Amino acid sequence: MSLDQLTNIIARGSECKAFYGGHNWPSDEAWRKFNDTLQGALLKPAPLASVCYGDTEYGNASGSKCKSLSASWSSSLERAGDPIEVNSLLFEGLTCIPPISLHTKGCRQGGYPRYVVKVTGDSQVQTAINFARQNNVRVVIKNTGHDFSGKSLGASALSIWTHHLKDITYVPNYATDGYSGPAFNVGAGVQAKEIYKAAFDQGMMVVGGICDSVGLYGGYSQGGGHSMLSSIRGMGADQILSIQLVTANGNLVTASATENTDLFWAIRGGGGSTYGVVTSMVVKAFPDIGAAVGTFEWSVKGNNISEDTFWKGVSSYFSYFKNFTDEGTAAQWFIYPKGDLASITKPDGQPRFQLFPFFAPGKTIAQTESLTASWLTEMTTLGINITTNWAYFDSYYNAYYSVFSSSAFGHMPYTIAYGSRLVPQENFDKSAKLNATVAAYRAMSEAGHMFNGYQYSPTLKAGAPVGPDGNAIHPAWRNALSHTIAFVQWPDNATIKQQKQIRSDFAIYGMKPLRDVTSGAGSYMNEADRLEPDFQQSFYGDNYARLLQIKQKYDPEDVFWAATAVGSEGWAVESIDGLPTENGPLCRVTN
């Protein structure tokens, strides 16, 4: 940070959170005493790639460690278990990455938190929040760092790292208002792979995402949480039966259907890093079931078809969404555009559709073949012959690991941004609305955008029981048959000015075709564009006003802040490079 920028922060006083190097930053002695109170749980981590650079404040350069790190840099596994690293490095500011791309700039702390509390118990969270509030230090919360917008980043922040809260207890007969049945009491740091295995060992299954390194009980479930089980069991937030958390005043409280019911409503779908630090939850569990799993693919080149026929095939698949989801199935699908979006995939230069996987929980291969027969016949009539590859697994656990693994998910490339949209059921009915929807996808694809979409139906019925007051999940989810992510890419050597323009244009104009054809439907906050216009409506819908009241009730001083979170419009990160990153001080917005 330049001297002028630091001087400006100092002049603004309490309008900005304390910033490292400023007069209101806690002294070294204050941090030492804080660490003593925490019994040594305070960390001051260096960015992973600091081992690649000699002239830094860290003094830990190592050629061999740098070589090893560079070789594994694309994996998300090491980041998930690191105190400060995240998957969406773009939002850190790219201030410390290995010397393997044009983005190498040496190494400095940038948008990484300055200090981290390695939490192993509730009292440490209370101590951390009280210290931060009393010293006007910014707080961020990290579980595994998978959030698309980098919510666990923050320059000069104190990070509360919940990753080591790993307790898992199976409760065969859990009873609460509106629910009676099996459940798990889980620490906030439990990852999907850990609870999936624990559930499997009990002959059970739980709702979770497709990346098994994600911590399910942080931002995943608090922001909604979609799953291959969503058509039969609802969203991640629908699974929550009780929550233990520390609020902004340092109090440890329980939120449930009978205690702190407003918090219980808000945290289940109203976003993470907002109302408090969750330390544990009780979540539903279900008897394990088998599943049939399949993959499909077609392309202009591979099937020797025209582009018009390719898109007729897409329309045909879309028109069967309701049929498929009514039977409890889910799917992940991709549309690859013309050209070469090489940092994500390497297509053949022509449009390509990949369905990976088609997931049919509770169904045999024969039942799934029967379900998809009419669609495949329709595709054949179009001249698109698809080879089906089905397999059956006798448990959800084995079915899941037949197609998904931790190693399949790396960090988001530095030259990629993304937006998303929830697409309602009406868009997939065989009608003019379907034609307009496919036309929107085609227009965006021909503009060079890749899609990563999902087919499922996370209705209130699927998620039941949710409770008499429901929860804070965006209402558009309950009528959606797809959540679609679109990607935009810029050249590796693009200037900051060019990046700003590309990202702004994509948010406003690039996503417009899909936004126009799904008016009022919204976007999934956990996998969305940080620059999404009118994020309050897009991410929260009609729940926003109520969520804001709850935020102001429990956190009137804005101890917790994250980009696009409820109440975030009152503050902004003044990033050093002017890009939408965490690489700068957090200050109040003034008119």
| Tens-digit pLDDT profile for residues 112-171 | 999 999 999 999 999 999 999 999 999 999 999 999 899 999 999 999 999 999 999 999
Specify the pLDDT at position 100. 81
556 and 525 share a domain?
no
134 and 185 share a domain?
no
322 and 354 share a domain?
yes
Residue 225 is part of a domain; what is its CATH number? 3.30.465.10
329 and 386 share a domain?
yes
pLDDT tens figures, 50-80: 999 998 999 999 999 999 999 888 877 888 8
Final residue in a domain of this structure, among 270, 287, 304: 287
401 within domain boundaries: no
Contact assessment for residue 262 and residue 543, using Cβ atoms and an 8 Å cutoff: no
Span of 2-6, 325-329, 521-525 with lowest mean pLDDT:
2-6
Residue 501: CB atoms within 10 Å: 13
Q: Cβ neighbours of residue 52 under 8 Å, at least 6 residues apart?
A: 61, 66, 69, 70, 98, 99, 107
Contact assessment for residue 255 and residue 261, using Cβ atoms and an 8 Å cutoff: yes
| Angstrom distances, CA of residue 560 to CA of 19, 324, 567 | 16, 41, 10
CB-facing half-sphere around the CA of 536: CA atoms within 13 A = 12
Residue 301 is part of a domain; what is its CATH number? 3.40.462.20
536 within domain boundaries: no
102 and 206 share a domain?
no
Task: For residue 16, list its beta bridge partners.
Answer: 587
Q: What is the mean pLDDT of residues 173-198?
A: 97
Contact assessment for residue 215 and residue 296, using Cβ atoms and an 8 Å cutoff: no
208 within domain boundaries: yes
CB-facing half-sphere around the CA of 480: CA atoms within 13 A = 30
Final residue in a domain of this structure, among 287, 316, 347: 287
149 and 134 share a domain?
yes
Range of the domain at 205: 168-287
Contact assessment for residue 405 and residue 212, using Cβ atoms and an 8 Å cutoff: yes
338 and 433 share a domain?
yes
Residue 405 — very low, low, confident or very high, per pLDDT cuts 50/70/90?
confident
Specify the pLDDT at position 104. 72
Q: What is the mean pLDDT of residues 465-493?
A: 92
Residue 509: CB atoms within 10 Å: 11
403 within domain boundaries: no
500 and 451 share a domain?
yes
Q: What percent of the chain has pLDDT over 70?
A: 94
436 and 366 share a domain?
yes
Kindly state the tokens that stand for 511: 């996503």
Residue 8 is part of a domain; what is its CATH number? 3.30.43.10
pLDDT tens figures, 243-293: 999 999 999 999 999 999 999 999 999 999 999 999 999 999 999 999 999
H-helix or E-strand containing 234?
none
335 within domain boundaries: yes
Provide the number of structural domains found in the chain.
Answer: 3
pLDDT tens figures, 95-116: 999 998 766 779 999 999 999 9
Final residue in a domain of this structure, among 229, 262, 287: 287
Residue 9 — very low, low, confident or very high, per pLDDT cuts 50/70/90?
low
Q: Which residue has the higher pLDDT, 475 or 415?
A: 475
H-helix or E-strand containing 294?
strand 291-299
Specify the pLDDT at position 343. 40
Contact assessment for residue 161 and residue 117, using Cβ atoms and an 8 Å cutoff: yes
Specify the pLDDT at position 316. 98
CA angle 243, 246, 251 (to 5 degrees): 120
Residue 342 — very low, low, confident or very high, per pLDDT cuts 50/70/90?
very low
Q: Which of 318, 327, 352, 355 is nearest to 481 (CA)?
A: 318
pLDDT of residue 207 exceeding 50: yes
Residue with tokens 């022509």: 350
385 and 243 share a domain?
no
44 and 154 share a domain?
yes
154 within domain boundaries: yes
Specify the pLDDT at position 505. 97
Specify the pLDDT at position 577. 85
24 within domain boundaries: yes
321 and 205 share a domain?
no
Q: Give residue 57's Cα distance to chain centre.
A: 32
Q: Which residue has the higher pLDDT, 189 or 347?
A: 189
Contact assessment for residue 279 and residue 345, using Cβ atoms and an 8 Å cutoff: no
Q: What is the mean pLDDT of residues 376-403?
A: 96
328 within domain boundaries: yes
Q: What is the mean pLDDT of residues 369-383?
A: 98
Specify the pLDDT at position 206. 99
Q: What percent of the chain has pLDDT over 90?
A: 85
The model's pTM is: 0.95
Cα torsion at 133, 139, 143, 146 (round to 10°)?
Answer: 160
